[in-house]
Amino acid sequence: MCGIVGYVGKRSCTDVLMNALSKLEYRGYDSAGIAVFENGKIRVEKSKGRLADLADKMEKTGRPEGHAGIGHTRWATHGEPSDKNSHPHSGADVTLVHNGIIENYKKLREFLINQGNTFTSETDTEVVAKLISYYYKGDPVEAIIAATKELQGSYALGIVFKDYVDTVFAVRCESPLIVGIGKDESYIASDVPAILNYTKDYYLLEPGEIAVLNPYGAKIYDHHYQCIEKELKTADWDMDAAEKQGYEHFMLKEIHEQPTAIKTTIMPRISDGLPNLEECGITYDKLLRYNKVFVVACGTAMHAGVVGKYVIEKLARVPVTVDIASEFRYRDPLVGEGDLVIIISQSGETADSLAALRLSKDRGADTLAIVNAKGSSIAREADMLIYTHAGPEIAVASTKAYMVQIAVMYLLAFEIALAKKVIDEDEGKRLIKELEAVPDVIQKILEEKPDTQFAASKLINTDSLLYIGRGLDYALSMEGSLKLKEISYIHSESYAAGELKHGTISLISDSMPVIAVVTQPDLALKTVSNIKEVKARGAYVILVCSDNIQVDEEAYDYKLTVPAVDSLLMPMTAVVPLQLIAYYTSVLRGNDVDKPRNLAKSVTVE
């Protein structure tokens, strides 16, 4: 989604803004713009398209020269991607950039038109600029407080006032924003990687707080205009983590980071060979109280929840419901006291997942967040928290975050099963040993480089394909299918193999390839029968299977094998070839792998 940056200091503001915005490109955007104080006046430059288009435009007009300003990458919500809808937007005294959605913007727009304002864009953001101008009587913070009281929805704003040269203001509600602190300079940013080149120290702005940045530092006020002291945080990511380090794409780098990410995530949660989640607020006593478990998330994180469901139900015999967050929040779910709601989110800022968390808390359920981004809203608001330690995930297509999310779901499943005494300590220790061995198996798969490029070459000209599997293989197929469609732009669906005959098999022909996942020995024979049925109807079949399962050669056209681990853990290893197939299909089709069209990394609006 949109990215915000701002700078005040001695450096060239345009250079800093453009560099910081480039670090937010992964969030997804369709236009960009900056506003810089040049010779005491605010100069705005903006353009539809990529940052390179903005840079080209400024080559012609001359880059703004100054030491304070704000910048933005826009992911269109209100109004098409165009120069005029790009941020920054202005009112009489104010220019600003905005992340989020103002839900009551139409009413406010009418009010402002009646006050004599005219609008140049279709955005909700221009309404905010004009509203702050309306309230501005000489004190920017007062104007921001008065205007934001009227806003409904979500926002993070970077603001400059024409009377306050070389000063940047910021405020947030729902959409995240940080204030970076360097030596004689300060920054605002919607995400840590934007400023890692300059500083690792930052304040996390809370909803309603207002930051005032000038060349001497930053002051933060609450919404009563009281100056407040905040804890300065230090990012534990370094710039290397947010760079490609020789890989052609972030996605490929992140696939290769998976073994380390699993180790960093699980090792601190294992003691004496058993899971230990006490530090995350999870005890046997608590786990024994829950009769029902809900997993609520979006996209890939929701698919990690589906794997979790299979594993928790199988091992711990507790019923688990997996919900898409945008459905859960509006379906009046039967959730309440005695239930555990697990929210999974890489960014910790997904609007629907955050709303589902709040709804569950309101209804008396205990909430547990599994989150990658430190200090994010979901992480802060949940009753219990397990951080995944994947480091920054830059590619829009999630890979290593999914891997560590499922690693945590395994730890949790083992812990619930132990608490409920459905398994004994010996079995718990055996399972942990198996889990600890997985990173090396994945490393081996990556080193041996399965020929996923060949599989990808068979898919590049197809319009549509199916992923099939049973049980955990079906859970995994969901993720394989999403990965492929989001970056290759080829339509695909995942199907429970046994469900094909109930309608979908009519789609099968020689122009509909099938990727079949077979890693569960107890289900293999059943799935292989289904594979033969699609093969007999002309489908080109790519089989992804574990090396302990024999499949007749006539059942498939191309086979990718992964080493067998405990069957419960197979999604962790078998997902790797599926990720690579998606990656290479996207590369071969010449797509922008890391920044697929129309997608945003962090979906902070509904």
Enzyme catalytic residues: 2, 601
Question: With contact defined as beta carbons under 8 Å apart, do 534 and 515 qualify?
Answer: no
Residue 346 interacting with ligand AGP (CB under 6 A): yes
Q: Which one among 94, 252, 397, 524 touches ligand AGP, defined by CB under 6 A?
A: 397
Question: What's the closest the beta carbon of residue 397 comes to ligand AGP, in angstroms?
Answer: 4
Q: Which one among 76, 170, 179, 396 touches ligand AGP, defined by CB under 6 A?
A: 396
Residue 326 interacting with ligand AGP (CB under 6 A): no
d(CA 129, CA 162): 12
Q: Which one among 258, 347, 377, 546 touches ligand AGP, defined by CB under 6 A?
A: 347
CB nearest ligand AGP: which residue?
A: 299
Smallest Cα–Cα separation from 175: which of 508, 574, 554, 600? 600
Q: Which one among 350, 519, 585, 586 touches ligand AGP, defined by CB under 6 A?
A: 350
Q: Which one among 356, 603, 604, 605 touches ligand AGP, defined by CB under 6 A?
A: 603
Q: Which one among 154, 258, 488, 602 touches ligand AGP, defined by CB under 6 A?
A: 602
Q: Between 124 and 486, whose beta carbon lies closer to ligand AGP?
A: 486
Q: Between 518 and 603, whose beta carbon lies closer to ligand AGP?
A: 603
Q: Between 121 and 347, whose beta carbon lies closer to ligand AGP?
A: 347
d(CA 301, CA 582): 17
Q: Where does this chain touch ligand AGP (CB under 6 A) — which range of 112-120, 140-148, 391-399, 492-500?
A: 391-399
Write the DSSP assignment of 240-252 as a string of letters. GGGS-TT-SSHHH
Question: What's the closest the beta carbon of residue 351 comes to ligand AGP, in angstroms?
Answer: 9
Q: Which one among 398, 530, 586, 604 touches ligand AGP, defined by CB under 6 A?
A: 398
Q: Between 387 and 556, whose beta carbon lies closer to ligand AGP?
A: 387
Residue 299 interacting with ligand AGP (CB under 6 A): yes
Q: Between 16 and 298, whose beta carbon lies closer to ligand AGP?
A: 298
Give me the helices (H) in 420-497, please.
425-448, 452-457, 472-488
Q: Between 186 and 602, whose beta carbon lies closer to ligand AGP?
A: 602
Question: What's the closest the beta carbon of residue 517 comes to ligand AGP, in angstroms?
Answer: 18
Q: Where does this chain touch ligand AGP (CB under 6 A) — which range of 10-18, 41-49, 70-78, 298-306?
A: 298-306
Smallest Cα–Cα separation from 4: which of 194, 222, 245? 194
Smallest Cα–Cα separation from 474: which of 490, 452, 496, 446? 496
Q: Which x/- pattern, by CB under 6 A, does the window 444-473 give for ligand AGP?
A: ------------------------------
Q: How many Cα atoms occupy the beta-carbon half-sphere of 157 within 13 Å?
A: 35
Q: Where does this chain touch ligand AGP (CB under 6 A) — which range of 85-93, 112-120, 179-187, 297-305?
A: 297-305
Question: What's the closest the beta carbon of residue 592 comes to ligand AGP, in angstroms?
Answer: 14
- 274: phi then psi, degrees, rounded to nearest 5: -130, 155
Smallest Cα–Cα separation from 347: which of 269, 405, 266? 405
Smallest Cα–Cα separation from 117: which of 134, 104, 139, 95? 134
The Cα-based distances of 428 to 146, 262, 271 in angstroms read: 57, 18, 12
Smallest Cα–Cα separation from 519: which of 569, 570, 480, 555? 570
- Based on the number of CB atoms within 10 Å of its own CB, is 197 exposed (0-12), middle (13-18) or buried (19 or more)? middle
Question: What's the closest the beta carbon of residue 240 comes to ligand AGP, in angstroms?
Answer: 22
Q: Between 373 and 411, whose beta carbon lies closer to ligand AGP?
A: 373
In sequence order, what are the residues at sequence separation of 6 or more whose Cβ sits closer than 8 angstroms to the Cβ of residue 509?
537, 538, 539
The 3-state DSSP class for residue 537 equals coil
Residue 546 interacting with ligand AGP (CB under 6 A): no
- The encoded tokens of residue 117 equal 């304002």
Question: What's the closest the beta carbon of residue 598 comes to ligand AGP, in angstroms?
Answer: 12
d(CA 280, CA 249): 34
Q: Where does this chain touch ligand AGP (CB under 6 A) — which range of 176-184, 393-401, 450-458, 534-542?
A: 393-401
Q: Where does this chain touch ligand AGP (CB under 6 A) — which range of 75-83, 84-92, 255-263, 293-301?
A: 293-301
d(CA 535, CA 529): 10
Q: Which one among 298, 306, 411, 512 touches ligand AGP, defined by CB under 6 A?
A: 298
Q: Where does this chain touch ligand AGP (CB under 6 A) — which range of 173-181, 233-241, 288-296, 344-352?
A: 344-352
Question: With contact defined as beta carbons under 8 Å apart, do 467 and 481 qualify?
Answer: yes
d(CA 114, CA 94): 19
Q: Where does this chain touch ligand AGP (CB under 6 A) — which range of 56-64, 93-101, 292-300, 406-414?
A: 292-300
The residue assigned the tokens 């302990």 is 548
Q: Between 90 and 346, whose beta carbon lies closer to ligand AGP?
A: 346
Identify the sign of the CA torsion 343, 347, 348, 349.
negative
Identify the sign of the CA torsion 198, 201, 204, 205.
negative
Residue 345 interacting with ligand AGP (CB under 6 A): yes
Q: Between 344 and 417, whose beta carbon lies closer to ligand AGP?
A: 344
Question: With contact defined as beta carbons under 8 Å apart, do 23 and 196 qualify?
Answer: yes
Q: Which one among 17, 301, 475, 528 touches ligand AGP, defined by CB under 6 A?
A: 301
d(CA 250, CA 270): 30
Q: Where does this chain touch ligand AGP (CB under 6 A) — which range of 41-49, 184-192, 343-351, 490-498?
A: 343-351
Q: By rule CB under 6 A, what count of residues binds ligand AGP?
A: 15
- 439: phi then psi, degrees, rounded to nearest 5: -55, -40
Q: Between 159 and 192, whose beta carbon lies closer to ligand AGP?
A: 192
Q: Between 130 and 485, whose beta carbon lies closer to ligand AGP?
A: 485
Residues 483-512, interacting with ligand AGP (CB under 6 A) = 486
- The encoded tokens of residue 314 equal 């199988």
d(CA 306, CA 291): 18
**Residues contributing to the site for ligand AGP (CB under 6 A):** 298-301, 345-347, 350, 353, 396-398, 486, 602-603
